[in-house]
Structure 1
């Protein structure tokens, strides 16, 4: 028998019919080689962990925003400014317990930052240094806010219409500057700005609006362009890679391709989220080192990530949870920061950190099915190619665990614990022998060590059993 490649790298693709596929990828990022000559075509890259940067003393972190260098966070019922030395300064009170949406405009010598909590809105004027509630009768409240052409954009909490503020006046609104679903009768769910257009997404449809320059009725529907796909949640949409990504009202996940929805979810993901509370789902984005992630979290389920770079889905999972503990992701001063949903902490994301604020960051890969078309296979060995020897000096945990399933992931073998190399052990190999006989096999590799765990390739020594 000779060593042959095993398909170890891939995304999350676990179907209800497990013997067909039970693939899963947690806390790893698949990356495809962009040039020839690499050890393998794909690699599972270690994702960034995080360490504490600041604490707010309140929970949860409900929203965060970078307003031209001013980092603002709502935690609990308090709006904070995050300082460059890792401290926080309380600005004022934002009522409520649910997610907030934040946007800003420009005024002379500063900004107006708008915070919407669903039923009401608040404006932090950086020039006056004052936080005030929006009391204009033309403002109905909004679950989300955005910015375009000097206007703040929102949507009525009851879904009757979407609206804009007066030009560069975040506290003033005109009841004549409203629009409802026009192509079909529909209840509006959310709005989002894409380029020089506003995309209004209802429960069943989507429409585009453009700035006409009129004093009132400023934005009018773009004629002949509409979608028969809506949005499932006000917060389950995000801008990424010059497009819009969102959770559709039909349970599919879409990317805007031109002016049309393009499905990017898989049937496996659609099965996984079918029984969840879509209305509570929320989306975030993360862009760094070429990776562009659309991150969709279901508080009663998992956190799913779609990477534009690899076009693969993976999951992000925090220790002891099914979902990621990060409620917000914000780029500020060229670094990325996350806000915790459970304790109000703010974290600094770091590609060289392999824990989540000291808690284990467990990476797990369940492979594709290896088989010989029904013929019994004798498995003599499995080799895994890691970027070995990358553990920090002094760390004693430098192991991975490997187990297998011969029935599609219903039952698993005992785990073999193997070293991926202490500091400087660059020639360490992961080689497991005498692995029995099977008709088909799925491998599970897991690493919880606080060190780099880039997984490059796998091979097995296996042959068809002689009858």
Structure 2
């Protein structure tokens, strides 16, 4: 028998028919080699952990925004400014408990930051350092807000129309600057600006609007351009990689290509979310070190991430939870910051930290099915290739557990626990021997060490036995 590669690296692709596929990738980021000469074509990279940056007395984090370097966050019923010295300054009250949508424009003296809580709207003026509610009679309240061509765009809370503010005036509105859904009479759910157009999603359709330059009725629908795909939630969409990703009303995740929806979800993911509450799903994005990830969280379920360069899905979980604890994610300068849904903490994402605020960051990979077309396989060993020996001298948790299933993931063997190398042990071999006989096998690798633990690949020592 000779050592043969095992397809250890992949995405999250588990199906109800487990013997067909029970693949899963949790808290690892699939990364494809871009040049020849690498040890394997893919690795599973450890994601950045969470380092507490500052904390408020309220909860939860409802939304975050970068207003040209000004760090703003809504936690509980309060709008805060996050300061460089890791303190926060309360700026005023934003009623409600649900998610907020935030955008901003530019004025002669600074910015007007608009916060929509689903029913009403508020404007924080950076020059005057004041937070006021929008009281213009022409402002109906808003589900979401976005910025285009010096206007703030919003959606009526009842889905009857979408609208814009006056030019560079976030507190002033005109009832003549409202647009209905035109291609089909469905309620408007949300909108997002893409390029120089506003993409307006209804319950079953999507339409594009562009600036006509007129003083009123400023935006008009782009003729003969519409989609028969709506959006499932006001917050389940985001800009990423020069386009838009969103959860469609049909439970499929799409990417906008030109003016057309292109499916990026898989049947496995669509099955996994079929019974979840789509109406409360929300999206976030993350871009760093070659990764561009569209994250989609279902508060009653899980968090799924689509990495655009890898074209693979993975999952994020926080310790003791089914979902990732992050409720908002934003870039400030060269760093990424996140807000917690359970408390008022703001975290800094750090590639060198493999915990979440001191809690374990547990990574797991369930592999594709290895088999020999129904013939029995004698498994003499499996060998894993980690980035070993990167543990700190004081870390006594530098181990991985390995187990396997011979029935598609219904039942599992006892876990074998192996070292991934203490401090400086760069030649550590992660190997388990004498693993029995099977007609098919799925491997599960799990590691919670706070040390670097990128998974590079695997091989197994196996041969076909007598039937």
TM-score normalised by the chain length of structure 1: 1.00
Query: What is the deviation of 1:428?
Result: 0.2
SS at 1:147's partner residue?
strand
Q: Describe the superposition over 1:249-298 as per-residue Cα deviations: whole angstroms up to 9, x where unpaired.
A: 00000000110000000000000000010000000000011100000000
For 1:360, the equivalent position in structure 2 comes to 360
Match of 2:297 in 1: 297
Aligned partners of 2:370 and 2:418: how far apart in 1? 22
Q: C-alpha distance in 2, partners of 1:351/1:142?
A: 37
1:333 shift after superposition: 1.8
- Cα separation, 2, equivalents of 1:283 and 1:196: 22
Matched, 1:169 2:169: yes
Q: How does 1:385-400 map to 2 (within 5 A)?
A: 385-400=385-400
Q: C-alpha separation between the residues in 2 aligned to 1:244 and 1:393?
A: 45
The CA deviation string for residues 90-147 of structure 1, in whole angstroms up to 9 with x for no partner, is 0000000000000000001200000000000000011111100000111111111000
1:183 is aligned to: 183
Pair 1:93-2:93 in alignment: yes
Task: Name the SS for the 2:279 alignment partner.
Answer: helix
Equivalent residue number for residue 102 of structure 1? 102
Shift of 1:309: 1.1
Matched, 1:196 2:167: no
Residues of 2 paired with 1:212 and 1:27: CA distance? 46
Residue 164 of structure 1: how far off its partner (Å): 0.3
Distance 2:209 2:5 in 1: 52
Secondary structure of the residue aligned to 1:271 is helix
> What's 1:331 paired with?
331
Partner of 2:123: 123
The within-5 A match list for 1:152-163 is 152-163=152-163
1:274 aligns with 2:274: yes
Listed one character per residue, the Cα deviations across residues 362-382 of structure 1 (whole Å, up to 9, x for unaligned) are 000000000000001110000
Report the 3-state secondary structure (helix = DSSP H, G, I; strand = E; otherwise coil) of the residue aligned with 1:346.
strand
Measure, in 1, the Cα distance between the counterparts of 2:393 and 2:81.
37
Tell me the CA shift for residue 458 of structure 1.
0.3
1:226 aligned partner? 226
| CA–CA distance in structure 2, aligned partners of residues 285 and 236 of structure 1 | 11
Aligned to 1:343: 343
State the distance in 2 between where 1:156 and 1:398 align.
53
Alignment RMSD (CA, Å)? 0.5
Distance 1:361 1:280 in 2: 26
Q: How many Å separate the matches in 2 of 1:211 and 1:56? A: 41
Instruction: Determine helix, strand or coil for the equivalent of 2:268.
Output: helix
- List, as ranges, runs of 4+ consecutive aligned residues in structure 1 with deviation greater than 4 Å: none
Return the offset for 1:176.
0.6
Partner of 1:75: 75
Aligned pairs for 1:130-149 within 5 A: 130-149=130-149
- Offset at 1:394? 1.1
Unmatched segments (≥5 aa) in structure 1: none
Deviations 1:156-186 (A, max 9, x none): 1111000000000000010110101111111
- Residue 312 in structure 1 maps to residue 312 in structure 2: yes
- Counterpart secondary structure, 1:269: helix
Aligned to 2:22: 22
**In structure 2, the residue corresponding to 1:91 is in which secondary structure?**
strand
Aligned equivalents of 1:288 and 1:161: distance in 2?
37
* Cα deviation, residue 466, structure 1: 2.3
Task: Report the equivalent of 1:47.
Answer: 47
Residue number in structure 2 paired with 1:112 = 112
Cα distance in 1 for partners of 2:273, 2:103 equals 29
C-alpha separation in 1, matches of 2:127 and 2:70: 13
Deviation at 1:433, TM superposition (A): 0.3
Q: Which residue of structure 2 aligns with residue 4 of structure 1?
A: 4
In the alignment, what sits opposite 2:446?
Answer: 446
Measure, in 1, the Cα distance between the counterparts of 2:23 and 2:368.
6
Partner of 2:209: 209
Segments of 5+ residues of structure 2 without an aligned counterpart are: none
CA distance in 1, matches of 2:276, 2:176: 38
Q: CA deviation at 1:392?
A: 1.5
Instruction: Determine the C-alpha separation between the residues in 2 that align with 1:367 and 1:273.
Output: 21
- What SS does the corresponding residue of 1:95 show, helix, strand or coil? coil
Q: Which residue of 1 aligns with 2:403?
A: 403
Please list the CA deviations of residues 343-375 of structure 1 after superposition, one character each: whole Å capped at 9, or x if unmatched.
110000001100000000000000000000000
Measured in 2, the distance between the counterparts of 1:42 and 1:293 equals 17
TM-score normalised per structure 2: 1.00
